Structure 1
Amino acid sequence: MQGKGLPELAVIGWPLKKTFSPIIQNAALKSSGIEWKYEAIPVPPDEVDKFFLKASKEMRGFNVTMPHKPRAYELCDERDNFADVCGAVNTVVFRQIKGKIKIFGYNTDGLGLMRALSERKKKTISSALFLGAGGAAAGGIAALLASGTGQIYIANRTLGKAEDLAESFRRNFKASKIAAIELKGEHILEVLKEVELVVNCIPDEGAASLEDVLTEDGKGKIFCDFSYGEKPGKLYLRAEKLGYRMISGVEILVWQGAYAFEIFTGVECPVESMKNALKEEIGSWWLGC
């Protein structure tokens, strides 16, 4: 951040080793004739507040990824209803209101998941298991509960974190059953038998250790992977082999990025330009799952 002017748009996270956001957002900007730049900016947790201050003076806005979504939520002056429900922000916009800069926060993670499900003619899901309890999980859970999902399981290595997230949703969605479980094989095996949707929110290195746990026939069920890379991860490949209908994290990235683009610019997102840019970069394995 030091000694360099900031771009109009960016994605921040830590350590931010892998992100395709600049690829899709710059493609959409170019296609729309908007001469802004979008960059990836690694921001350590102890510098997030400082970055917000600097960015408010120089940028239009930015996306937020792990682990900064909860802190971004706290730093916004105003948030949309969806961000309020899940307590996490992945899209930040600066607007001048009566001569003062105000920070607006949004969460498009859940919208991205719901759009991917609607592409598969699935507008409602009866039950779901989330692997992980971070910001991406919060966004996805909020979207499903708002759509009427009746049962949500949240599995996490730290049970207390899963329980805290579950309790935050129980207050707003009293008609749904929301349970926290440990991220252990025996617990997951029992839940897999009954859920319609499995959503992985754990980075591939950690998710790979669950490969052997995924043993149930996936026919008639959906597996969604919020984690993504140039190639499908081991857990993704395992689910695909078992017959799950697949939603790649790359596809989720495109849809949540499209909603963010429209928030940033106020114009309709050229989604095909985003998809084409990614196909050039990593191929098309993630399409038509």
Structure 2
Amino acid sequence: MQEMEKVLPELAVIGWPLQKTFSPIIQNAALKSLGITWRYEAIPVPPDEVDKFFFKASKTMKGFNVTMPHKYRAYELCDKKDDFANICGAVNTVVFRQIEGKIKIFGYNTDGPGLMRALRERAKKTIGSALFLGAGGAAAGGIAALLASGTSRIYIANRTLKKAEDLAESFRRKFKTSEIVAIELKREQILEALKEAELVVNCIPDEGAASLEDFLVEAGKDRIFCDFSYGEKPGRLYLRAEKAGYTMVSGIEILVWQGAYAFEIFTGVECPVESMKNALVEKIGSWWLAC
């Protein structure tokens, strides 16, 4: 792979195909703000090259973020994981540390904490029930965070029911007092879940999520819509939820907070969050701050 032959930066985000990521914008802004001379880049890594990338990265890099579809494999490749990564079985932040002369790979998950911080900023309420659209690594982090906060019922909707069921079962073993229901990403089942869900969390890229906009027919008053997917402009599903009256939490806000927590893991210093926000406003405007 051509990307693998390049000299690696100190920090990066890996994923596939990684056509869209704002992580370099916010991380480089934070590094510059504090006078840290590291570089943060986006590196596309195909699924069959992930193991090879981990090996090469461990020789020179400080660490990297992980996005879809590599979060589950990253979890398996880490020598040590923090408690939250162990709960959700997915890693989005990797750090290399030398322990007794050997390089050890440490894995963290900041998706869940990032979601919860964004919810606290916007919604300021306890969530009793939630519907997740998608069953990937971002969903795992978000579900784990909500269950740990006391959410009593979670619906996981996915096109492949078995993937949703496998994820649901992994959480049933850890959170025995909560009800976790796997459903197919079909209109009738989504509408039934929406009758109860106080929070809807979209973890499907906008191209796929756009086909679900007709599902959000219920009025959104007193409900929250949160979108892990993001772009320079709000997506169609996001706009539909906004029109329906949901309290909105953009994927940009989640990105900022999960990125801030990752930055602190990478550097060991407090993240200048405002520098991240300012860099994004300069790039895409401030629509996501006015949710």
State the TM-score, normalized to the length of structure 1: 0.99
Match among 33, 37, 51 for residue 49 of structure 1: 51
Distance of aligned partners of 1:222 and 1:208 in 2 relative to their CA distance in 1, 3 Å threshold: same
Separation of aligned partners in 1, 2:181 and 2:37: 47
Q: Name the count of aligned residue pairs.
A: 289
Separation of aligned partners in 1, 2:177 and 2:169: 13
> 1:219–1:243: 8 Å Cα contact kept in structure 2?
yes
Residues 32-63 of structure 1, C-alpha deviations (whole Å, 9 max, x = no match): 11000000000000000000000000100000
* Aligned amino acid, residue 205 of structure 1: E
- How far apart are residue 195 of structure 1 and its match? 0.8
Unaligned 5+ runs, structure 1: none
Distance of aligned partners of 1:120 and 1:3 in 2 relative to their CA distance in 1, 3 Å threshold: closer
Separation of aligned partners in 2, 1:148 and 1:180: 19
What is residue 75 of structure 2 aligned with on the other side? 73
Distance of aligned partners of 1:89 and 1:2 in 2 relative to their CA distance in 1, 3 Å threshold: closer
> 1:211–1:238: 8 Å Cα contact kept in structure 2?
yes
Separation of aligned partners in 2, 1:88 and 1:123: 26
Distance of aligned partners of 1:76 and 1:184 in 2 relative to their CA distance in 1, 3 Å threshold: same
- How far apart are residue 124 of structure 1 and its match? 2.0
**Which runs of structure 2 are paired with 1:1-289 in the superposition (5 Å)?**
1-289=3-291
Give the secondary structure class of the aligned counterpart of 1:287: helix
Separation of aligned partners in 1, 2:201 and 2:5: 41
* Aligned amino acid, residue 72 of structure 2: P
What value does the CA root-mean-square deviation take over the aligned residues?
0.7
- How far apart are residue 2 of structure 1 and its match? 4.0
Unaligned 5+ runs, structure 2: none
Separation of aligned partners in 2, 1:174 and 1:4: 47
* Aligned amino acid, residue 29 of structure 1: L
- How far apart are residue 245 of structure 1 and its match? 0.4
Separation of aligned partners in 1, 2:183 and 2:256: 30
Separation of aligned partners in 1, 2:98 and 2:220: 50
Give the secondary structure class of the aligned counterpart of 1:212: helix
**Identical amino acids, percent of aligned pairs:** 84
Residues 108-135 of structure 1, C-alpha deviations (whole Å, 9 max, x = no match): 0000010011112525210000000000
